[in-house]
Structure 1
């Protein structure tokens, strides 16, 4: 008993109480299983981080793709509004210029060499129908050029000694005045008023008299002798006589008469389609003609009463 150390114990002998246990654990190498588990854990966390980053990028990319059509649509809408504003500004400027012209030069503006009436397609015709009315006006101007060229061709036919050349030249000269005035008053001005006021009465005036104009165009294109036309038949006679220059003018005259006929027929159909779409009827036209006649009679009676009362 006396010879035994009471503090001696196997557990204390195997370990040093002053050693750092943490250092011991740190110095102990990882075994195969623990190293593999930690490596797998680190790889898994890295891949999870990478996947989360890629999903963020994909989400932002899809959001950008979704926003691109919206941005393009907004840009297109802005461009459309800018074009509308520019067109409206041009209309306002044209109206202002027309108002200034009326204030300085007077209201009547047609014809320019001797103004008798006021006529302005941008100011009086609705925008949707301005193109149609402008085409009809160009057809009327082309008619004036056709009549002039037809007269020159008939004059050369007379000089070339073509039979009935004098009659053709005389009638063609009369056409230059009568057809010019009649075509403007009987079919162009009515269709102008029709699109401006949307009244059935004016459409019927146009349909009747422009129908005669279509027939007249094809009739003149045929070129019967003594009818004042340098059309097809007279053209053949001129070429048979060896008059090349007169024949060339007859070719142009014939072509222009055919253009008159076909172009007038095309717009006749176009105006008729618009007439049906607007729901105009013959009964409306009759009622408008009657009311217009009544108003005219009332104005005449009032004018006559005012004149007689002033005499007294």
Structure 2
């Protein structure tokens, strides 16, 4: 009953708060708790992490708006001239590259033995062959026959022109007034023999060789004109230098020998005209099966003109002259 003897309502003025056991335990331990207190613990340094950004040491400058100015005409012309000069240098580089490739191709051709073999001239002759021609190697088999026939037509045409010269010479021996025909016959032989080879035989050879639409169209245009010339020569208009039917029939009564020679030449001209019409139709039928077209011919022509070195030089010089003239007028 002793636990109930204390009066809870007794006066507490004599109670000492420092006599509390919890307080006395701390004060009597002898440790300096204030000295051990560290407001900056070591583990707190890890909580402050992150990259610090230093302040810029370069002083900032205020933005200044530059006034916009249009380029002057002189600057425009100078820029255009510089662009043309750059294009000219590029064209010259391409031309040099093309020339180098052409030389390489020529050297390859010489190394493989593909030397020019036409016309077949002897080695002691001062003029060398100008073209390489081989039907079995360069022309496809299905086109070799017609290409050879056109070549034989050209040879027959040259023989006819030579016989025409002899007939006109015989005609000139009868009377001095017929010297015009003899002079024109010499001109036709000198003019038509090489021109026909270059203008319609070589184009058709290249057309069959490389399936070139441009060469096909060029052949059709020139060879049609050649057919018209064959017809005129076979007719034999007087004073035109042709031993055709009109002239041969007019002279055969007075001089049968000369008239007969001229009539043979008229037959040759007629045969040339007939054969040319037949071959023209045959070439046209082959052309329709090759897939050539006018658009391809235009593309081949434009590419050939652009890659031509002479055209490139002329175009660049004209553009440079025009730019220089514009620059002088602006000054």
Cα offset, 1:138, TM superposition: 0.3
- Taking CA–CA contacts closer than 8 Å with sequence separation of 6 or more, which of the two structures ends up with the larger relative contact order? 2
1:275-286 to 2 correspondences below 5 Å: 275-286=287-298
Distance in 1 between residues matched to 2:259 and 2:113, nearest whole Å: 45
Q: 1:109 aligns with which of 117, 127, 135?
A: 117
Cα offset, 1:240, TM superposition: 2.4
Match of 1:249 in 2: 261
Cα offset, 1:140, TM superposition: 0.4
Match of 2:139 in 1: 125
Cα offset, 1:103, TM superposition: 6.7
Match of 2:169 in 1: 155
Indicate yes or no: 2:237 matched with 1:229. Answer: no
Structure 1 residues 131-162: Cα deviation after superposition (integer angstroms, max 9, x where no partner): 11011000000001000000100000010127
Cα offset, 1:221, TM superposition: 0.3
- Bigger helix share: 1
Q: 1:188 aligns with which of 190, 201, 205?
A: 201
Cα offset, 1:281, TM superposition: 1.2
1:46-61 to 2 correspondences below 5 Å: none
Q: 1:260 aligns with which of 252, 266, 272?
A: 272
TM-score (norm 2): 0.58
Tell me the C-alpha RMSD between the 2 structures: 2.3
Distance in 1 between residues matched to 2:271 and 2:229, nearest whole Å: 12
**Structure 1: any 5+ residue segments left out of the alignment?**
1-101, 306-312
Indicate yes or no: 2:182 matched with 1:174. Answer: no
Distance in 2 between residues matched to 1:118 and 1:180, nearest whole Å: 18
Indicate yes or no: 2:307 matched with 1:289. Answer: no
Distance in 2 between residues matched to 1:134 and 1:167, nearest whole Å: 35
Cα offset, 1:105, TM superposition: 7.8
Structure 1 segments of 4+ aligned residues over 2 angstroms from their partners: 102-106, 297-302
**Structure 2: any 5+ residue segments left out of the alignment?**
1-109, 122-127, 318-331
Distance in 2 between residues matched to 1:258 and 1:103, nearest whole Å: 45
Distance in 1 between residues matched to 2:174 and 2:112, nearest whole Å: 51
Q: Relative to structure 1, is the Cα distance of residues 148 and 297 closer, same or farther in structure 2, using a 3 angstrom cutoff?
A: same
Larger radius of gyration: 2
